[in-house]
Structure 1
């Protein structure tokens, strides 16, 4: 998964203790000026390398929104727009650290600060190595202590950035892995209409099922195969029919999935009234989805064993196991995926 392998972010105090302790052991193996130089190199390298490793472990979010939204074939090294918008929403929703500071933008700023600190420490190492040359042991020790004090000041300065990056890692590490190169079917609709039940029925997913709004707090992913092609099927959070600017962070996740992922949309409607939302409101949301997104939209009436009082492309009852396969086949046809088949080799 894109964020799963991110390493634990150390605290500034942990890094300083690690670097200075290792430097002390290194210094005991030598004497005089050589010991001080060895301690300087060891501490600087540990601090700079650890900070650099934290930064390089993160994927590239791009430098601005225009860069992030380049066509897919022009931004192979950047985070897919789906992950960018989903990460931004989750950071603002899950972490108080980011709520007032700008989501992914705040994360990028903190990563930039860590990179700055790593470079500063390397520059100080070179500066003090130069000062130690051709000095006696006592003067070299003074220079080494000055360098260590400046190292500690730099780590104090980025303490909040390390905490911010650590919070981001904890919030994002369990995101599902969405593959932009595989066809994707997005399941959308109001809360409690049966989206998660449908996804669980046709895949190996095990999303939480319950009868309260916003059970699905994040994008959930399942897979199924047809004709040796693997399809992704994405269960989105419940969307409410209200202006985009009024949607909360959970709802924005669903909109992001629809915008960037959907090769087809299965829009689930509940005509029975059990979901708690009027059919007219559900259809208005369906119409909004059709207006905003280019992917074909299949209107599916779920709980059809209780009511079929709505015009739909297909009818099913997930709980009774009726019509589910037909809906899935309709979605596959709507995707119309044709894999690239390499030309056969000439004899």
Structure 2
């Protein structure tokens, strides 16, 4: 399964009643093709194999969480809870083995029985199959819900350089990404917020860079984020190779400049391992702020210079303020 989108190919998780209906209906068809004890044994094997194989496939279709990149692993944990998911998969794996063991046991007993006893044994086996599958009914539902949530995770690639574009709403983040990337504001679902994730891509010297805006996460102070959102921000710290922080000195964004700079300082503390480049956008309206660069996305002023700087910042150590490097 590709690391670029480790949950994208997950198959639909069947419900317990769907599994039982599928197994028993196919078993009935298999039984009609034979007679006597052979029919009962054929029904037993068909139903047991379908149930055991399908539940095993539910488990094996999932990637090894410990083998995922830290970004994807923490993202999955923020969305569904990795420990809970592991336990649910373990229960379904147990059910798969249990059905397999029952199938073998009843097959052996049938071979020593007459036709009438074999029919009774087959009915007993089906009842026990149903009990096992129904015991993991809740686990199958939870796994299905986790699959549906995780399949919507954005195709963000940990092996490609990532620039996180941050700042309060209305400072020009999405406009900047639209202007400099070839994705024209590709939108991907972001399960742990009520908004969306904006991802754009550009290439420099045969290297593809990802520009990521995270509305609902990095556009407000840390104390306003809930536990899941804080964990999502933690996941982003594994991903970011540089942070471009946009401020609006004119105040037209609706947030005081002091609050914007406080948010910038909060992100500097959070993203300690990477460069945080402060850029004053809307420089055609105001430049009344201490920033690394001044630009206007609307007029195009210094946009290319800012892009060059933040791409270059990926190779810098973040131990000094950007302007001192």
CA distance in 2, matches of 1:257, 1:322: 33
Match of 2:255 among 252, 277, 282: 277
Following superposition, the deviation at residue 225 of structure 1 comes to 0.2
Q: 1:240/1:183 Cα in 2 relative to 1: closer, same or farther (>3 Å)?
A: closer
**Aligned 1:251-330 pairs, distance under 5 A:** 251-252=229-230, 255-293=233-271, 294-330=273-309
The answer for the alignment partner of 2:135 in structure 1 is 157
Following superposition, the deviation at residue 215 of structure 1 comes to 9.2
The answer as to 2:18 corresponding to 1:14 is: yes
Secondary structure (helix, strand or coil) at the match of 1:299 reads strand
The answer to whether the 8 Å contact 2:193/2:229 transfers is no
The answer for the alignment partner of 1:3 in structure 2 is 7
The answer to whether the 8 Å contact 2:222/2:230 transfers is no
The answer as to 2:146 corresponding to 1:168 is: yes
Following superposition, the deviation at residue 199 of structure 1 comes to 1.6
Deviation sequence 1:164-184 (CA, Å, 0-9, x none): 111112222121122222111
Q: Any unmatched runs of 5+ in structure 1?
A: 63-77, 92-102, 209-213, 338-347
CA distance in 2, matches of 1:163, 1:175: 19
Aligned length: 305
The answer to whether the 8 Å contact 1:196/1:235 transfers is yes
Following superposition, the deviation at residue 322 of structure 1 comes to 2.4
Following superposition, the deviation at residue 317 of structure 1 comes to 1.9
The answer to whether the 8 Å contact 1:187/1:236 transfers is yes
CA distance in 2, matches of 1:219, 1:112: 32
Following superposition, the deviation at residue 90 of structure 1 comes to 3.1
Secondary structure (helix, strand or coil) at the match of 2:100 reads helix
**TM-score, normalized by length of structure 2?**
0.86
Q: 1:197/1:249 Cα in 2 relative to 1: closer, same or farther (>3 Å)?
A: farther
CA distance in 2, matches of 1:116, 1:273: 59
Secondary structure (helix, strand or coil) at the match of 1:269 reads strand
Q: Any unmatched runs of 5+ in structure 2?
A: 317-325
**TM-score, normalized by length of structure 1?**
0.81
Following superposition, the deviation at residue 248 of structure 1 comes to 2.2
The answer for the alignment partner of 1:335 in structure 2 is 314
CA distance in 1, matches of 2:194, 2:295: 21
CA distance in 1, matches of 2:263, 2:91: 43
Match of 1:87 among 49, 66, 76: 76
